[in-house]
Structure 1
Amino acid sequence: MDFLADINNAVPEATLAGFSLIGLLLGAAGGDRLAGLLRLLAAIALVAAAALTFYQFQHPGAVDGISAFASPMAPDGLYRVTMFTLFAKGVTYVLAALALFMSGGFLKTAQMERYEYPLLITLASLGAGMMLSANDLMTLYVGIETLSLSSYVLAAFRRDSLKSAEAGLKYFVLGALASGLLLYGSSLIYGFTGGTGYSVIAAAPVSVGLIFGLVFVICGLAFKASAAPFHIWTPDVYEGAPAPVVAFFSTAPKIAAVGLLAHVLFVAFGPHISSWQQILAIIAAASMLVGAFGALLQNSIKRILAYSSISNVGFALIGIAAGAEKGAAAVLVYMTLYVIATLGMFGGVLALRRGGKAIDSMSDLNGLVKLKPGMALGLLVLIFSVAGIPPAAGFWGKLSVFQAGLGADLLWLVLVGALASVISLGYYLRLVWAMFIKPPGEALDKTDTSVGVVVFVTSILMFPVLTIGIQMLLDTAARASGG
């Protein structure tokens, strides 16, 4: 194993790890009075990690062993970067930095500004980067646990809220179960292939034991992506966790989890696609339908958005089920557009407050266009994009995964996706109806400036006239997938 190459490949993650250690020492010495400074420094560290990642993407020769995503065989080594993982990591770090940027006002208002918060976000992002660049199931597990353990604490970060404590406990218990499934699957794979490296697994012949191990690994990874039927934790955690934590959970870890699932299946299990394609297609169909129907029954905004995220993960899984050649670029396009729109939508809706309390029910959005017209218009564009309504940018992401599904002869899955899209209009249009048609309620509190900036920027990015940006994204995703 070339450990020097592994270290060279991990420079962005080393940056985050170094800041986390320094930040922990500063926080222990200075306490919560340094919370604001550490939040700023954490955002800078995440931006620096993103810049290093995109530099590696633009200059492949600067990294040892880099290749296009669809390389036929991964080389030995615990850590490896490809164009695909660099793209996913870069987007993850940018989203984490934005989530930190927009959290300041909420943390101060809710008296939650503690130095641990930015460190936990940084460690979670570090885990996301590690698992995306893993070239071995053990490295993957270390990355997942780094992300998961940080996320459990973040979910329960609001100490004076029983719902937040309940969210953290549920997330921890179910997350431990998912980690157990992943480890058990990894042990089966090791027993039947003789190794945990992706190259060893890819070269191994198909056997019953390998298939069983693969199923357990898929189950463990599907939990991290909140795909049905492993989604049980998502609505409760989203409802109970603090608003900025929910905005983070729904974006950076989401694209990392979907990217990880794609990377593992395409690289380690790519030669065995016939063994997992239908399994993933069924999970995709279940996620789309469970998310769409589940959201229709909700009145809590957080729970609606939670079920929306489950449904949208299902659409991304169509691209994975289509295989690396047809689906890799589609997955990147869809998830990038989805998480950008989701960050603005979650952040905007969850930052609205009335009488010092965060809004929670659908009726709290009534007449938003008259109370905060700029916010309402921005959210309208973002909702249309997440729903995949043309000509908003999200439509092109959904079109990409549908085309990938058709190219892989998964017509039935594309039809399920089309049905789920129609059903999902029911709850998305309920949000629009409340904001633009229903009479307004009491005045809302002043929205934090940072949140307004994020909503404005993300809504501009999702605006339908920016077709040049869409084409650039399509070209970049094709390059990242080796196309």
Structure 2
Amino acid sequence: LFAPQLVLAFFASQLLSTGAFAKKNISIGVRNFSIFVLLGYSLIGFVLGQPTGTAFKGALIIDNFSHYMNLIIGLSAAAALALSKSFFQIEKLDRFEFSILVLYCTLGMSIMVSANTLLALYIGIEMQSLALYVMAAFNRDSLRSSEAGLKYFVLGALSSGLLLYGASLIYGFTGSIEFTQISEVVSSGASPGVIAGMVFLLCGLAFKISAAPFHMWTPDVYEGAPTPVTAFFASVPKFAAMALIARLLVGPFEGIVSQWQQVIVIFSVLSMFIGAIGALVQVNIKRLMAYSSIANMGFALVALSAGTETGVKGMLIFMSIYVVSVIGIFACILQMRIRDGMVENINDLAGLSSTNRSLAVVLTIFMFSIMGIPPLLGFFGKFFAFIPAIDAGMVWLVVLALIASVIGAFYYLRLVKIIWGDESEHDFVEAPKTLRGIALISSLLVFPVLILPLVSIPTQSLISRAASSLF
């Protein structure tokens, strides 16, 4: 049952030992093998016939939900790792430890999405977080990278404190750390202590998805971290944390929907508007993507706020499309090197259409998709995220989400205008084939030609089974 996680743990440990005693730089070999391991990890559950059950005396639960999450997490982590190759080689940061950190972070996320006790939840989150702290500060010679790692570590410790305090309250008032037993106690009547514990727990998890008002770290860390690390931050860990929130809300806290619904709605509204408005004044691409991710987490929370199976399904569809779009956008960003180094400011994109038209087209497709313009997949992501909220009677929340989407469209259109309307100021360096390939594949996944296969068969079936396994 726990084969994917055991595979990750075994190979991460073996690669770490091999790299530590190697007499020469083996980063390329470690990276390539790590990508192979991640691809195997993502598919092994389906190869084994998607077995279900519990492991480690009920601490972890293996179901269709965890199988789907392992698939997306593994594929996304492999893509993010592939993005890092040329960047780290050019910046002379090509060390084997980065691939090991990605493997351990993925292992932590896998434990998170399979957690069936508060202890397993905490272990998974901390395993993921410890790897992310080091990844943020991976460029030791950069003051900005070191600052990003320190900020993330300090605020991450605060969020872990909130999470632990919430878990201790829940344990104290329910007498158990197991989700099933907590659910039984909560269903028979939740005490104020349990509700307070749930709020602290959600606050700690809100930090992990950079939902407002726990988003303060996001712009600085995204800007300071190496760009491939930012691509990883913006995609995979957010999906894992959002999945964990979904498992908590419809699992142990299923009996107090009206209480947690208020908290999720507050996080959602604040995230949508702080993210959309904050992005309007950004000139740094990575800071802009940070605020964009904050807003998009708000949209995902709109779906979860419904507290229904269709809400979880809508969140999974939205987040799956979001992860593909973000990885594609960062594949484009990493391609855009100028003579002075990496492209960092949005004005550096001026005239991209005249110097590299194919890249300009691909990046524009991603911008329109994440904006939610039909018939690209980003539109369907928001559609499936908003419908459950309407069905639950929260039309006003969807109206606010649409207003935030309109505000957010402005900064995406500003980028498109700069790409296609402004004069070129730089000569762009030719991009590596790996980055071009990932960007092209990602753009095809959000292109109208592939809409039906992606939102119906077979992905729709996988997502439906994943969502229904939580209920």
Asked whether the two chains share a fold, i.e. TM above 0.5, the reply is yes
Aligned residue for 2:62, secondary structure, equals: coil
Query: Does 2:456 match 1:471?
Result: yes
How far apart are residue 351 of structure 1 and its match? 3.5
Query: Does 2:97 match 1:116?
Result: yes
How far apart are residue 390 of structure 1 and its match? 0.9
RMSD: 1.5
1: CA distance, partners of 2:331 / 2:450: 22
Q: Deviations over 1:5-54 (max 9, x none)?
A: xxx2x211111100111011101111561111000111111011001133
Query: Does 2:355 match 1:355?
Result: no
1: CA distance, partners of 2:265 / 2:70: 25
Which of 53, 76, 87 is 1:64 aligned to? Answer: 53
2: CA distance, partners of 1:200 / 1:241: 41
1: CA distance, partners of 2:16 / 2:184: 43
> What does residue 5 of structure 2 align with?
13
Q: Deviations over 1:344-391 (max 9, x none)?
A: 002211441111511111110001111111111111111111111111
One-letter code aligned to 2:254: G
> What does residue 176 of structure 1 align with?
157
Cα–Cα, structure 1 residues 394 and 168, in superposed 2: closer, same or farther, change >3 Å? same
One-letter code aligned to 1:64: G
How far apart are residue 274 of structure 1 and its match? 1.4
> What does residue 193 of structure 1 align with?
174
2: CA distance, partners of 1:361 / 1:38: 32
Which of 94, 113, 117 is 1:132 aligned to? Answer: 113
Which of 398, 401, 420 is 2:382 aligned to? Answer: 398
Q: TM-score scaled to structure 1, two decimals?
A: 0.94
2: CA distance, partners of 1:64 / 1:132: 14
Q: Which runs of 5+ in 1 are unaligned?
A: 1-7, 67-74
Which of 279, 293, 307 is 1:323 aligned to? Answer: 307
> What does residue 141 of structure 1 align with?
122
Q: Deviations over 1:181-227 (max 9, x none)?
A: 00000000000000111011101131100000000000000100110
> What does residue 33 of structure 1 align with?
25
Aligned residue for 1:80, secondary structure, equals: strand
The answer on whether the counterparts of 1:137 and 1:197 sit within 8 Å (CA) in structure 2 is yes
Alignment of 1:335-414 (within 5 A): 335-414=319-398
The answer on whether the counterparts of 2:88 and 2:94 sit within 8 Å (CA) in structure 1 is yes
2: CA distance, partners of 1:324 / 1:49: 29
> What does residue 251 of structure 1 align with?
235
One-letter code aligned to 1:55: V
Q: Deviations over 1:301-359 (max 9, x none)?
A: 11000000000000000111111323011011000001001100022114411115111
How far apart are residue 467 of structure 1 and its match? 2.5
> What does residue 314 of structure 1 align with?
298
One-letter code aligned to 1:203: E
Identity fraction in percent: 41
> What does residue 70 of structure 1 align with?
none
Cα–Cα, structure 1 residues 31 and 171, in superposed 2: closer, same or farther, change >3 Å? farther
> What does residue 273 of structure 1 align with?
257
> What does residue 418 of structure 1 align with?
402
The answer on whether the counterparts of 1:157 and 1:241 sit within 8 Å (CA) in structure 2 is yes
Cα–Cα, structure 1 residues 31 and 144, in superposed 2: closer, same or farther, change >3 Å? farther
Q: TM-score scaled to structure 2, two decimals?
A: 0.96
The answer on whether the counterparts of 1:226 and 1:234 sit within 8 Å (CA) in structure 2 is yes
Aligned residue for 1:159, secondary structure, equals: coil
How far apart are residue 416 of structure 1 and its match? 0.9
One-letter code aligned to 2:53: D
**Worse overlay, 347-356 or 131-140:** 347-356
Query: Does 2:197 match 1:213?
Result: yes
How far apart are residue 264 of structure 1 and its match? 1.2
1: CA distance, partners of 2:196 / 2:243: 22
2: CA distance, partners of 1:127 / 1:31: 29
One-letter code aligned to 1:218: L
Counting matched residue pairs gives: 464
Aligned residue for 1:103, secondary structure, equals: helix
> What does residue 76 of structure 2 align with?
95
Aligned residue for 1:465, secondary structure, equals: helix
> What does residue 69 of structure 1 align with?
none
Aligned residue for 1:260, secondary structure, equals: helix
The answer on whether the counterparts of 1:347 and 1:455 sit within 8 Å (CA) in structure 2 is yes
2: CA distance, partners of 1:410 / 1:32: 59
The answer on whether the counterparts of 1:190 and 1:196 sit within 8 Å (CA) in structure 2 is yes
One-letter code aligned to 1:246: T
The answer on whether the counterparts of 2:53 and 2:63 sit within 8 Å (CA) in structure 1 is no
The answer on whether the counterparts of 2:212 and 2:294 sit within 8 Å (CA) in structure 1 is yes
> What does residue 42 of structure 1 align with?
34
Q: Which runs of 5+ in 2 are unaligned?
A: none
**Worse overlay, 323-332 or 225-234:** 323-332
How far apart are residue 76 of structure 1 and its match? 7.2
